[in-house]
Amino acid sequence: MFFECGKSISCWQRIGLCYDILQTILPFASCVEIIFSTLQQFDNHQKQVFGVTLWSIWKHRNNRVWNDAQESVQDICDRAGTLLTSWQNVQVTRHVQPNISATHVCAQWKKPSPGRYKCNVDASFSNSLNKVIISVCIRDEKGHFVLAKAEWFAPIVGVDMGEAMGLLTAMQ
């Protein structure tokens, strides 16, 4: 899908990476092998363009399968370009911001007390599917994995309620 589909090949041609990618495709190579071989050959800018284009092709595939949506090669490449530009702008903004004397909080996972477990919960929201996806991960006092779970429910609720539902799921 990423490298042999006609639309994908047209995307790689449009952004100027087709020849370089074709050089890394070996007979019987897996998609993962192709991606990592290609990345080893690219400079930083090419890696960025390759990554966002790969993601945009994947997004196109999902739009086609789940929404029966048709997108042109230009649509796929434009979405990739917009994502890359947005990401680059955020990187510049992060490095240019003035030094503020506010306290910075560094979020870092900490082990629970001996004999206890720690549960991390996250909720994500899909407007297009009208669903909330909950992820739960439980670790012991040594930080070792104990249990994980993911589930979804509908309809969409607020962030607080989604996180609370995740916590309820973990406790159950």
Q: What local confidence, expressed as pLDDT, does residue 94 receive?
A: 61
| Inter-CA distances, 141 with 29, 40, 120, Å | 42, 39, 14
**pTM over the 0.75 mark:** no
How high is the pLDDT of residue 101?
Answer: 52
Among 14, 88, 107, 92, which Cα is nearest to 53's?
A: 14
The whole-number pLDDT of residue 31 equals 82
User: Contact at 8 Å (CB) between 13 and 57?
Assistant: no
| Predicted local confidence at residue 52, as pLDDT | 92
pLDDT of residue 95: 60
pLDDT along the chain (172 residues), means of 10: 86 90 76 85 90 92 88 93 85 62 63 86 80 86 86 80 80 79
Q: What is the pLDDT of residue 104?
A: 57
H/E element, 82:
helix 73-96
The predicted pLDDT at position 72 comes to 94
**Spatial distance between the Cα atoms of 19 and 114, rounded to a whole number of angstroms:** 56
DSSP 79: H
Q: Could you give the C-alpha distances from 112 to 4, 75, 107, 109, 167, in angstroms and in order?
A: 48, 48, 15, 9, 17
DSSP state of 113: P
Domain ranges in the chain are: 6-96, 118-171
Q: What are phi and psi of 33, to 5 degrees?
A: -60, -40
Q: Which pLDDT value is given to residue 147? A: 85
